[in-house]
Structure formats: structure tokens, C-alpha cells
Structure 1
Amino acid sequence: MNKKTLRVGMFGFGRTGRAVATVLFNTPHVELEWVARRSVGGRHRSVAEVLGVDSDTPAPFHATDAQDADTLLDQHPVDAIVDFSGEDGVLYYGEAAARRGITIISAISDYSPERLELLRELAERTVVMHSPNITVGINFLLMAAKVLRRILPDIDVEVFEEHFRSKPEVSGTAKVIAGELGIEEERIRTVRAGGIIGVHEVLFGFPYQTVRLKHESIAREAFGNGILFALDNLRDKTAGFYTMEDLMRPYFQMDGDACKGQETTHPAEAG
């Protein structure tokens, strides 16, 4: 069954935003309509030019300094907005998107309480999803770790993270993992070396065994895969505030037949 094409607009075009745009640009059932930046300069006027490809849908850049969000969304309508800009990006497009029922997917890693409250207010009128790390793998790791923590709450748990040499602060993702598992932030073990994109590991220490859950980012395009997962699983959702855990939870439901290896209906195919 062919999926309906989703028209997507994106805010932010740094290293991660560019990788995400590459994934979206090359996905058949997604049409990246445009990328919004504060200003548009330089020799590239579209994502297609940046990628060095010819396309009938080049995904042009639009300058937020030159027009308000209502004008942008009226002249270049989309079904969903993907935000990799910064915590104040939602101040530009949030109200305009909510009024039009446009899905908002925010991957901003460090929102202030005020910005999170704004997202929840917008979610009263449209579909809003926020994830500080939108890769499928890291969210699977977090959910699996929480399940094991509930099964055996008294076992030893340690959180490790590794990143590129110049990253000064403790990984925001590691802080989220530690917080969800009830571990003090000061106990997070960090490594800074070379050009490591990102490694997160949770170690569970039993008396006679250990369990290690580890996620390694090989390329920033992994964030694009997470965006695709979110776009596909937010289809037909009602207005509300969602997380990656909300979208992944149905995939953790295993009935007796699934455990026996018999054929079952995949959650993404249901309905």
C-alpha cells in the first residue's frame, strides 16, 4: 500500500539539519518543500544545490528575516514542520502552525521549561512531538533500560557517554537516560576523544552476569531515520503532545503468538 506523500518544511540547517534534509530529500513518500533559515546568503539557494543534484523539487531556502510565518506557510503549505534550529525557533512558527493544524516535530535537545510549556499549549490544537534525541536506536535503548530497571530495581546501573574531543558539556541524552533510571547526573562517565559522533551505554551489574545496552551514532543521518519514523507514526494522530516513547510503545507489546514466533500483525500495518 502506497503511503500518502507528506509535505515537510524544516527549520535549521546545521550539520545535523543538513544530514536530516539529505534523508528526507531522498525518501519517496516525503517531499521536503523548503528549509527555513534566519537569512539566505551564499551561492546555494536550495537543498538540491547543496547536495549537488538536479531535481524538480529542489527544496529552496526561505529567510525568516524576510517574512513572517503566516506568509511562509500560506505561500508554501506543508503537512509537517521539522525543527532542528534552536529553542527559540518555535516562537517564529508555532502559533501559525497550530492554527493550520500542521504537525510539529521538534528535535531540540535543550528546551527551557517555558518553551516546553509552549509546545504543550500548541499541542492542544495540533499534533506536537518532542524528542531531545530522535534516533530510533537511542529511544529503544532507553525504553529497554527502563523495563530492566523495573524488573530488578536494586541492581547496579552505570551510564557512559563518548563524544568528539571538543564537546565540553555532558551529553544531554546521557542526562535524560540517567534521569529516567534514577541515577545522579554526577555519576555519568564521560569520554572525549577524536571525532566520535556519539556513544551511549547503560551497564547493568548483576551478581553473576552483566547486561550492556549500547548505542553508537555512525552518522548524523540517523536523526533523519528517526524523523521518518516519527512522520510515519504520527499520521492520523489527534491533537496532543507525543514523545518517541509514545510512538514506540506499541512495538513493545508482545502477545503469546509473537513470543512463539507465529505470524502477527505489525503495529505499523494495523488499521
Structure 2
Amino acid sequence: MHANCSTKKVEIFLMGKEGKMGKMVRELAEKDPEVEVVEGGDVVIDFSSPEGTKKAIAMQKPLVCGTTGLSEEIFEQLHALSKKVPVLYSPNFSLGMALCFEMLTFLKKRLKKQAKITIEETHHTQKIDAPSGTAKRMAKILEVEEVLSHREGNVTGIHQVDFLLANEKITLSHEALSRASFAEGALMAAKFLWNQPPKYYSMRDFINPI
């Protein structure tokens, strides 16, 4: 991880502060001596909606965005903003999932031609987008078109990828046990981002690749 050598607290503005993720980020931020949630803020953390993300972009401040279901137009706006201020977008801020993305890249290079690849994801029934943004990122990495999605109970998030070979199967699975895993990653991303130069960043930029 990249350490921030400044003793100044990173002031964070929460877009979507009344949502489940916003409340979790605030709860963890209150226990973190390196950050403070304020109006305005040095960095915007956005877990809201496409409309909320547009408002976050309009603030013209360093932006950590975890909102999924965004249109191509909004992604273009995020990229345009990154020419002026640092922007970090990820569909999943879990540190474990960031490492899973790295492992999938590794496995794809070695198994793409030999394996049949399937992706499956399960989330709680209130999750609107399907497939999840995380599953879409997996599919993009692996060049897979189809994702099997399930919506069940209060499941925070389960993603599984199977690589079926002639005589064996490799399974990579990740389960988020709490939304706190996403909130922790978002706060780490904000601390990393606030003094970075303008660029479009990802979780890979502040997690050491395996």
C-alpha cells in the first residue's frame, strides 16, 4: 500500500450518505484517525446512483466512485474529470476482490484457450443491477459474455469463476461477509487518492499486484 506521509486528516464528502454503503463508510470513518467526514471535503466518496455520480463529478474534486449501473456517458464524464483531478473507479472496493482481479488476469493468460470459463454471482434481493458491476469486470477480464446472476435473501456478495479443463476444474471464489469490506477499501482509496496527480486510477494502482 502507498502510505500518506502527511499528518493532515483527509476530509471526505460522502455522496449517498443515507444509503447502506454511505452509512457504513461514515461508521468506519468515525473510528479512523486519518479521515474526517465533512461537507465539501478534500475527496468525494460516491456510493449513490447514476444521478448522484453526476453530482459528484460536478464537484470537480478527487473522486472515489463505487456506484454501479453507470452509463457509458457517465464513464466518459469520469474519464474527462480525471484529466483535471484524480479519479478512482471500482465496482468493488474489497481488497480481496482486487486481488481476485489480479488472479483472473493471471489465469486467463494461461488457461483461456484450454478452459471453459463460467462466472456466477449472488447478491441480496435489493440489489438492482444484474449482473453486478464486479461480475461485469470479471467478464471483461476473461472475455466471457454470459454471467449467471442470483438474488437471494441478504447475501452481501458472492462471486465464483470456474475454469473447466479436460480432466480438472479450477474454482476462484470470493464472498464478502460484510459491507465493511467495501467501506474499508473505499477509505483506503480516498487516503491514497487525495494527493495524487490527475489520472484515472483503479484499485490496482494502490494494491501491490501478486
Which of the five TM-score ranges fits, normalised by the shorter chain? Answer: 0.7 to 0.9
Percentage of identical aligned residues: 27
Pair 1:225 & 2:184 matched: yes
CA contact (8 A) 2:15 2:47 kept: yes
CA distance in 1, matches of 2:200, 2:100: 22
CA distance in 2, matches of 1:90, 1:167: 17
May I ask how many residue pairs the two structures share in their alignment?
203
CA distance in 1, matches of 2:205, 2:6: 25
Aligned-partner residue type, residue 87 of structure 1: P
1:81, distance to aligned residue in structure 2 (A):
0.8
Paired residue secondary structure (2:38):
strand
Q: Which residue of 2 aligns with 1:83?
A: 46
Paired residue secondary structure (1:21):
helix
Q: Which residue of 2 aligns with 1:31?
A: 36
1:2, distance to aligned residue in structure 2 (A):
7.3
Paired residue secondary structure (1:88):
helix
- TM-score w.r.t. the length of structure 2 is 0.86
CA offsets 1:168-205 (integer angstroms, 9 cap, x no match):
633232122112211112xx233333321210011122
Aligned-partner residue type, residue 96 of structure 2: G
Q: Which residue of 1 aligns with 2:15?
A: 11
Larger Rg, first or second structure (1 or 2):
1
Q: Which residue of 1 aligns with 2:124?
A: 164
- Residues 91 and 163 of structure 1, relative CA distance in 2, 3 Å threshold: closer
1:99-114 equivalences in 2 (<5 Å): 102-114=61-73
CA contact (8 A) 2:42 2:194 kept: no
1:200-211 equivalences in 2 (<5 Å): 200-211=159-170
CA distance in 2, matches of 1:231, 1:166: 27
- Residues 93 and 149 of structure 1, relative CA distance in 2, 3 Å threshold: closer
Give unmatched runs, 5+ long, in structure 2.
none
CA distance in 1, matches of 2:120, 2:190: 30
Q: Which runs of 4+ in 1 moved over 6 A?
A: none
CA distance in 2, matches of 1:2, 1:172: 33
Q: Which residue of 1 aligns with 2:138?
A: 177
- TM-score w.r.t. the length of structure 1 is 0.68
1:229, distance to aligned residue in structure 2 (A):
2.4
